[in-house]
Amino acid sequence: MFESLSDKLQAVFDKLASKGKLSESDVNTALREVRLALLEADVNFKVVKEFIDRIRARAVGAEVMNSLTPAQQVVKIVHEELIELLGKPVPLDLSGPPPHVIMLVGLQGAGKTTMAAKLALRLRKSGQRPLLVAADIYRPAAIQQLEILGKQIDVPVHSEGTDVPAATIAKNAVRLAREKAYTTVILDTAGRLQIDEQMMQELEQVRMVTRPAEILLVVDAMTGQEAVHVAEGFNQRVPLTGLIMTKIDGDARGGAALSVRYVTGVPIKFLGTGEKLADLEPFQPDRLASRILGMGDVLTLIERA
Amino acid sequence: QKTRSGILGRLGAIFQENEITEALWEELEETLIMGDVGVATTMELVERTRDRVEREGIKSTRDAYLVLKQEMVRLLESDEPLHIDEPRILTVVLVVGVNGSGKTTTIGKMAHYYKQRGRKVVLGAADTFRAAAIDQLKIWAERAGVDVIAHEPGADPGAVVYDAIRASQESRKADLLIVDTAGRLQTKFNLMKELEKIRGVASKLVHRAPHEVLLVLDASTGQNAISQAKSFKESAGVTGIVLTKLDGTSKGGAVLSIKRELGVPVRFVGTGEKLEDFALFDPVAFVEGLLGDS
Ligand SMILES: Nc1nc2c(ncn2[C@@H]2O[C@H](COP(=O)(O)OP(=O)(O)OP(=O)(O)O)[C@@H](O)[C@H]2O)c(=O)[nH]1
Ligand SMILES: Nc1nc2c(ncn2[C@@H]2O[C@H](COP(=O)(O)OP(=O)(O)OP(=O)(O)O)[C@@H](O)[C@H]2O)c(=O)[nH]1
Ligand SMILES: [Mg+2]
Ligand SMILES: [Mg+2]
């Protein structure tokens, strides 16, 4: 049922096989399949366009055109370029003096609250003393949700109910962290649309009073073409330092990660791999590239090339 | 006021030029793809529009634009009646979907919508898994002024549904029960099985229940939406879609592919986080929103 990119490319080249040396237009036919695969993976249309231009230069070179296995060669080039674009994994920046503030932002339902708890667990295990902060005063039961998660991982949660502005709660939390020697303060903010002026102002205020070391955009792996505008919208108001992609445990190809990385230039830091609080992985570019191409086994394929 | 910058906002402008050219069709394709309509459905829509434009000898871009709109609306329309509105002692609606798509919020809004239309509504809190999911549903129920039947966190969802139906039939004398379920990714075999079990409980207690199974889909979802609809249709018998978060900049173009490939219609839309931000799906308004033309 599932035809991977390399099968499709193989079919393209099989049709041409008799003609001997490949022409530029043969390669372009193959690149159409690549384009389609990337669009099906939800990579943004414009990003795909620029990406294809980038790999065309390499694909019309001798590597592919003289190869006995052109399909594999094209896959290899695409894979390598994807890895390049996705960038290297970058750890959390905890270099300054503590407490380090980590602020999670994103659209509604992306997975911020869960991710806040996952990061807290990870930091606690690495010897830090994290404090979780319930700065979502809007979503029904958001505070309870964070408190339940905090209890599960034995990390304290600072909350002040729903009548205090988010920025005040965040500011108080940082002061508390200083007093009680917490080393990291993880701010769970409410989900919001990047076009919601009032809510974006709230984020700016939270940032101003807490001076976060990290502002991480949480993006759902299932997000489609608009991911670029969402990321640009957040990045303009609160300069992002990293991206986190959640719900990668399903069958979404996660092309939005590439789009968001491409338009913001900020590194992808973590992947959310499930609903449990241990389900967190550092980002690995090669694996994400394979996933976007719909080929889990791309590495073995390349070894054969 | 939120800006109305539909991703397809340019489309109206393209069609204001006078000549129907190849570039126009390309631009059209491009804009539909950027609206998450998906490559295959985009190709089909453009082809059908082109065919009609040629067959009917259409010369103006304005008329070609109307043809496109018609084709999109026609694809989205459904003859199947909404089973919630049929006369019945107790109607059971099951609400399903992936994590965070907007199920619990939708149920709160839907309870309000039907209560205002004279129905006696009860909610079933069958998401016993997610932290504070029950508290969240209770807050929505209070806002809407309806009852909730809930167990403790971690309880068996099937048992919750059982009790919710019994309570609806007996003590609460409700005519509409809406059941919230935990979010689950469609690839999780055991969790999808659980939905079959919930269905089983409902059908044993109420003739032909659940009468509607609504898949809640986030409008910002890309091509994974089709996989979601396929799996939830198979496991949970999805009969319709609620498209949420349409107040954002995503316009939910993936539902065109879902309708084309699986025949599942959109029934309702969610347009915000307030009780009233909920409406019946209107294909014409939706298409105009998608094309940035409203
Ligand atoms: N399968 C899976 N589910 C996840 C993951 N991360 C979060 N979730 C689920 O996604 C849903 C939404 O997560 P939340 O953490 O509440 O999302 P949020 O961004 O805080 O939502 P709002 O506060 O409403 O904007 C919940 O059901 C989570 O359990 C993940 O990596 N995998
Ligand atoms: N802007 C906007 N936000 C919405 C809409 N519907 C739901 N939300 C928000 O989306 C987030 C997730 O909504 P929930 O109702 O908790 O989603 P869910 O599907 O029940 O989530 P899980 O139970 O964790 O799977 C919340 O922050 C809601 O306020 C909508 O139509 N527009
Ligand atoms: Mg949250
Ligand atoms: Mg829910």
Residue type, B202: A
Q: What is the pLDDT of residue B178?
A: 98
CB contact under 8 A, B39 and A40: yes
Quick: pLDDT tens for B172-203.
999 999 999 999 999 999 999 999 999 999 99
Q: What is the pLDDT of residue B14?
A: 65
CA B199 from chain centre, in angstroms, equals 19
Q: Which residues contact B174 (CB under 8 A, 6 or more apart)?
A: B90, B120, B121, B122, B147, B167, B168
Tell me the three-class secondary structure of B51-102, residue by residue. HHHHHCCCCCHHHHHHHHHHHHHHHHCCCCCCHHHCCCCCEEEEEECCCCCC
Quick: pLDDT tens for B230-252.
999 999 999 999 999 999 999 99
Quick: pLDDT tens for A59-95.
887 777 777 777 888 888 899 999 999 999 999 999 9
Q: What is the pLDDT of residue A16?
A: 67
Mutation target vs B (from A35, A115, A219, A226; most B CBs, 10 A cutoff) = A226
Residues of A in contact with B186 (CB under 8 A): 250-251
B219 has a pLDDT exceeding 70: yes
A302 has a pLDDT exceeding 60: no
Mutation target vs A (from B99, B228, B246, B275; most A CBs, 10 A cutoff) = B99
Burial of A205 (0-12, 13-18, 19+ CB in 10 A): middle
A12 has a pLDDT exceeding 90: no
B3 has a pLDDT exceeding 70: no
A305 has a pLDDT exceeding 50: no
SS3 call for B274 = coil
In this prediction, residue A57 has a pLDDT band, given cuts at 50, 70 and 90, of confident
**Ligand 2 center to A138 CA (angstroms):** 12
In this prediction, residue B17 has a pLDDT band, given cuts at 50, 70 and 90, of low
| Ligand 1 nearest-atom number relative to CA A190 | 23
Query: For the residues of A149-194, what is the DSSP string, one character each?
Result: HHHHHT--EE---SSS-HHHHHHHHHHHHHHHT-SEEEEEEPP--T
Return phi, psi of residue A204, to 5°: -60, -40
Percent of all residues in chain B with a pLDDT value above 90, rounded to a whole number = 85
A175-178 contacts: CB < 8 A, separation 24 or more? A176/A131, A177/A98, A177/A99, A177/A131, A178/A99
CB contact under 8 A, A222 and B33: no
Cα angle vertex A258, ends A96, A102, to 5°? 25
Span B71-96, average pLDDT: 96
| Ligand 2 nearest-atom number relative to CA B100 | 21
A304 has a pLDDT exceeding 80: no
For atom 12 of ligand 1, the residue with the nearest CA is B100
Closest residue in B to A227 (Cα) is B220
Residues of A in contact with B40 (CB under 8 A): none
| Among A22, A29, A47, A72, CA closest to A265 | A47
Ligand closest in space to the Cα of A246: 1
Q: What is the pLDDT of residue A23?
A: 79
Mutation target vs B (from A107, A193, A225; most B CBs, 10 A cutoff) = A225
B208 has a pLDDT exceeding 90: yes
With beta carbons less than 8 A apart as the criterion, state whether B160 and B187 touch. Answer: no
Residue B190 CA to residue B184 CA, distance in Å, equals 10
Enter the tokens of residue B167. Answer: 């309570």
In this prediction, residue A210 has a pLDDT band, given cuts at 50, 70 and 90, of very high
Percent of all residues in chain B with a pLDDT value above 70, rounded to a whole number = 93
Protein residues with C-beta less than 5 angstroms from the ion ligand 4: B 103-104
Q: Decide: B249 in ligand 2 pocket, CB within 6 A.
A: no
Residue B190 CA to residue B188 CA, distance in Å, equals 6
Percent of all residues in chain A with a pLDDT value above 70, rounded to a whole number = 93
Span B192-218, average pLDDT: 97
**Ligand 2 center to A79 CA (angstroms):** 35
Identify which of B132, B248, B250 has the shortest CB distance to residue A145. Answer: B132
In this prediction, residue B136 has a pLDDT band, given cuts at 50, 70 and 90, of very high
Q: What is the pLDDT of residue A299?
A: 47
Enter the tokens of residue B97. Answer: 């979907």
Burial of A18 (0-12, 13-18, 19+ CB in 10 A): exposed
**Ligand 2 center to A277 CA (angstroms):** 20
Closest residue in B to A36 (Cα) is B39
Quick: pLDDT tens for A119-157.
999 999 999 999 999 999 999 999 999 999 999 999 999
B72-75 contacts: CB < 8 A, separation 24 or more? B72/B45, B72/B256, B72/B283, B72/B287, B72/B290, B73/B283, B73/B284, B73/B287, B75/B45, B75/B256, B75/B259, B75/B260
With beta carbons less than 8 A apart as the criterion, state whether A190 and A199 touch. Answer: yes
Closest residue in B to A276 (Cα) is B130
**Ligand 3 center to A87 CA (angstroms):** 28
Residue B6 CA to residue B17 CA, distance in Å, equals 20
| Rg for chain A, CA atoms, rounded | 22
CA B58 from chain centre, in angstroms, equals 34
Cis omega (within 30 of 0) for bond into A91: no
Q: Which residues contact B52 (CB under 8 A, 6 or more apart)?
A: B58, B67, B71
Closest residue in A to B143 (Cα) is A140
The more confidently predicted of residues A25 and B123 is B123
SS3 call for A96 = coil
**Ligand 2 center to A112 CA (angstroms):** 12
Identify which of B135, B140, B248 has the shortest CB distance to residue A107. Answer: B248
B164 has a pLDDT exceeding 80: yes
Half-sphere exposure of A261 (CA within 13 A, CB side): 27
Q: How many CB atoms lie within 10 A of CB A67?
A: 16
A203 has a pLDDT exceeding 60: yes
- What's A22's DSSP letter? P
Beta-bridged to residue A245, according to DSSP, are A219, A271
B7 has a pLDDT exceeding 50: no
Q: Which residues contact A135 (CB under 8 A, 6 or more apart)?
A: A166, A169, A170, A173, A187, A188, A189, A190, A206
Ligand closest in space to the Cα of A275: 1
Average pLDDT, whole number, for chain A?
91
Identify which of B5, B139, B222 has the shortest CB distance to residue A225. Answer: B222
Residue type, A12: V
Strand pairing class (B266-270; B240-244) = parallel
Residue B105 CA to residue A90 CA, distance in Å, equals 36
Return phi, psi of residue B279, to 5°: -155, 160
Span B274-279, average pLDDT: 98
Q: Decide: B168 in ligand 2 pocket, CB within 6 A.
A: no
Nearest chain A CA: its distance from B254 CA (Å): 9
With beta carbons less than 8 A apart as the criterion, state whether B102 and B190 touch. Answer: no
SS3 call for A19 = helix
Residue B100 CA to residue A247 CA, distance in Å, equals 10
The more confidently predicted of residues A296 and B58 is B58
Q: Decide: A139 in ligand 2 pocket, CB within 6 A.
A: yes
Quick: pLDDT tens for B107-126.
999 999 999 999 999 999 99
Return phi, psi of residue B51, to 5°: -60, -50
Q: What is the pLDDT of residue A61?
A: 79
Closest residue in B to A229 (Cα) is B249
Enter the tokens of residue A141. Answer: 């039961």
For atom 1 of ligand 1, the residue with the nearest CA is A274
Q: What is the pLDDT of residue A20?
A: 61
The more confidently predicted of residues A17 and A257 is A257
Average pLDDT, whole number, for chain B?
93
**Ligand 4 center to B183 CA (angstroms):** 6
Q: What is the pLDDT of residue B12?
A: 61
Residues of B in contact with A197 (CB under 8 A): 2
Identify which of A39, A44, A226 has the shortest CB distance to residue B250. Answer: A226
For atom 6 of ligand 1, the residue with the nearest CA is A111
Edge-to-edge order in the sheet of strand A157-158: A157-158, A130-135, A184-189, A100-105, A214-220, A242-246, A268-272, A280-282
The more confidently predicted of residues B179 and A33 is B179
